[in-house]
Amino acid sequence: MNNQRQPLVEHLREIRNRLIRTVAVLVIVSGAAFFFAQHVFFPFLVLPAGDFQPIYTEITELLATYVKVSLLAGFVITLPYIVFQIVMFVRPALLPAEKKYLYLALPGVSISFLIGVLFGYFVLLPPALNFLLTFGSDVAQPTIRIGNYVSVVVTLLLWLGLSFEMPFLLYLLSRLGIVRPEFLAKQRRWAVVLAFVLGAIITPTFDPLNQTLVAVPLIVLYEMGTQLSKLAWRQRGKTTPSVIQK
């Protein structure tokens, strides 16, 4: 009985240790980013809104906003390390060939996330913020709280960054034998529906144009993932056992 429990205890201990290291690195990097929040990260987030001056109405609101921005910056910077910890945890259960493709996740995940953030920042944010800040301007002038503005922008960029991971992750899962391209092709209709649902959730406006700006890239990303899944299975061949079979 003790022999059966020992591997479980070791796995739990490894999870705890890796989680502690990840949180420690995230806290340290976010703490360092806090000192650059005012002059680097915060102006970066406000720039797409153009000429407008946010306000804050609570004593701790500005400080809490700086902390939120610092945490986002810390997450983006430490993302390769987070992925590294995940890869190192699952590595012992994989074959040598599968480990090689899992190592590709280290730069691939980070690059995909960065592309999604840049897409949101340069393509989606300007029209979305312009719509929000000018809607009904002939009736009332907007006075935007800094906490509300940063929450909207950070949420949108974070979701888009995660969404742009889709093609790479589908390729990786297919290369490991977890996902088949036939399954992805059958779910295409649901993927389109889900893309527009996510577009409505991610986009901070009720404008169909901005929702479509999110939904269409998500659909394209899903199609790219499906094609990459086919490529992965052709590369994989019929001789490599899958992770599920093990």
Supply the pTM of this predicted model: 0.77
The number of CA neighbours under 13 Å toward the Cβ of 106 is 11
Counting the structural domains of the chain, the total is 1
Per-residue CA distances from 121 to 7, 156, 158, 183 (Å) = 45, 9, 11, 33
Residue 115 domain flag: yes
Residue 241 domain flag: no
**Closest of 216, 203, 111, 198 to residue 156, by C-alpha:** 203
Mean per-residue pLDDT of the chain: 82
Residue 242 domain flag: no
Residue 203 domain flag: yes
Encoding tokens for residue 51? Answer: 């000429």
Report DSSP letters for 191-202, one per residue.
HHHHHHHHHHHH
Residue 130 domain flag: yes
pLDDT classification of 243: cutoffs 50, 70, 90: very low
Q: List 55's β-bridge partners, or say none.
A: 145
Mean pLDDT of 77-99: 80
- Show the beta-strand stretches assigned E in 22-128: none
Residue type, 239: T
Q: What is the rounded (10 degree) CA torsion for 53, 39, 67, 113?
A: 100
Residue 243 domain flag: no
98-149 tens-digit pLDDT: 677 777 767 878 888 888 888 888 988 888 888 878 877 778 777 888 888 8
145-173 tens-digit pLDDT: 888 888 888 888 888 888 888 888 888 88
* Gyration radius of the chain's alpha carbons: 21
User: What pLDDT is stored for residue 235 in this prediction?
Assistant: 76
Quickly count: other Cβ atoms within 10 Å of residue 118's Cβ: 14
Residue 195 domain flag: yes
65 has a pLDDT exceeding 80 = yes
User: What pLDDT is stored for residue 238 in this prediction?
Assistant: 47
CA dist 79 and 84 (Å) reads 8
Give residue 90's domain range: 2-236
Residue 132 domain flag: yes
Per-residue CA distances from 55 to 51, 68, 133, 145 (Å) = 13, 16, 14, 5
